[in-house]
Amino acid sequence: TAKSRGRGGIAIYQSSAHSVARDMFRMEADLRKAIERQELELAFQPYVNLEQGTLAGFEALARWNHPERGMISPADFIPIAEDSGLIVPLGRWAIETACMQIADWRKRCPNAADLIVGVNVSGLQLAQDDIVGAVEAALANSGIPGSALKVELTESAIVENPELARQIFTKLKQLDLSIAMDDFGTGYSSLSYLQQLPIDVLKIDQSFVAGMLKSDDSYKIVTTIIALARNLGMRTVAEGVEEEGQADRLRALGCDMAQGFYFARPMAARGAEKLLETGLYSPSRKRGGKQIID
Ligand code: C2E
Ligand code: MG
Ligand code: MG
Ligand code: MG
């Protein structure tokens, strides 16, 4: 064997590749159980109206607290869910859970009446699941209007099958949902999709926001995306805002909304509810309001 040859390069490679595969396999089995046992949770990250400095809504982000491994990032388990097909039940769970949470807030917090919650949807859910049926069922079960829900899709999800995306988006719009293109600027979408598809919001990828005060190129890209969205009648959300300077500049550039650690980190439903209750959602809050939670 390679190992017995002494240098071990191949053997080490083989054994580590094997353990990676085993690890993935275990993680997939664990994820399947976690979905069945309802061990996943949704965290909620606020996004704010930059002009008014008020809370505009939340993005729902999946969280997996593994019994032995601790918190696993969605960046690690979403790809496994996509490779294994588990993204279909996971995606349904996210839509249902977000709708039930919205219904609960709407029942108990007057400030939640106009709240919009964004749920991330993978491209595979468009192809492999009846997402429109899943949304319809979740709205019916929770009793919330479609206007309280936004779906977030990346460019790549759309590029894979633009005609399918168009059909599905059109039906989601009939249910009154809004549609956001996530991580905009990082994929390979043709600008013509922006015109052909009923997209309401462009989310400016956090890589451009992170660089916008340091790199002239990033700054120009951010400026251009805001102008593009405005010209096409879409709204903008800047992702990954971590500094006051970024928020100030984005506001001056006419970016509508912002999301990021500067305003608030993703939080448990209870924390999000506190934000709703404290009245920070009130439009009378002073313009350009700062951090809404620490
Ligand atoms: P995303 O949809 O672009 O979500 C934004 C990510 O940026 C979140 O990471 C959020 O915690 C992070 N973030 C927010 N503000 C800041 C900031 O100021 N600085 C930095 N460095 N990061 C910030 P998270 O929660 O780890 O999620 C990663 C990705 O996993 C999401 O990116 C989304 O693509 C995917 N994801 C999460 N939940 C779901 C889900 O339920 N379904 C699907 N299909 N994908 C999901
Ligand atoms: Mg998102
Ligand atoms: Mg994003
Ligand atoms: Mg992102």
pLDDT tens figures, 244-263: 999 999 999 999 999 999 99
- Please name the amino acid found at residue 151: V
Average pLDDT over residues 186-212: 92
Mutational pocket test of ligand 1: of 42, 48, 78, 158, the residue with most ligand atoms within 8 Å of the beta carbon: 78
What is the reported pLDDT for 124? 94
| Average pLDDT of the residues of the chain | 89
Is the pLDDT at 197 greater than 60, yes or no?
yes
pTM assigned to the model:
0.91
What is the reported pLDDT for 25? 87
What is the reported pLDDT for 290? 45
What is the reported pLDDT for 15? 61
Is the pLDDT at 238 greater than 80, yes or no?
yes
Average pLDDT over residues 188-210: 92
Q: Whose CA is nearest to atom 34 of ligand 1?
A: 120
- Is the shortest distance between the CB of 273 and ligand 1 below 6 Å? no
Confidence band of 285 (pLDDT split at 50, 70, 90): very low
How many A from CA of 45 to the centre of ligand 1?
Answer: 9
Each residue's pLDDT tens digit, 171-193: 999 999 999 999 999 987 788 88
Average pLDDT over residues 126-132: 96
How many A from CA of 58 to the centre of ligand 1?
Answer: 12
Is the pLDDT at 20 greater than 70, yes or no?
yes
Average pLDDT over residues 216-230: 97
Left if phi > 0, otherwise alpha if psi is -120 to 50, otherwise beta: which for 271? Answer: alpha
Q: Whose CA is nearest to atom 10 of ligand 1?
A: 266
- Is the shortest distance between the CB of 260 and ligand 1 below 6 Å? yes
- Is the shortest distance between the CB of 15 and ligand 1 below 6 Å? no
What is the reported pLDDT for 2? 37
Share above pLDDT 90 across residues of the chain, in percent, rounded to a whole number: 76
What is the reported pLDDT for 279? 59
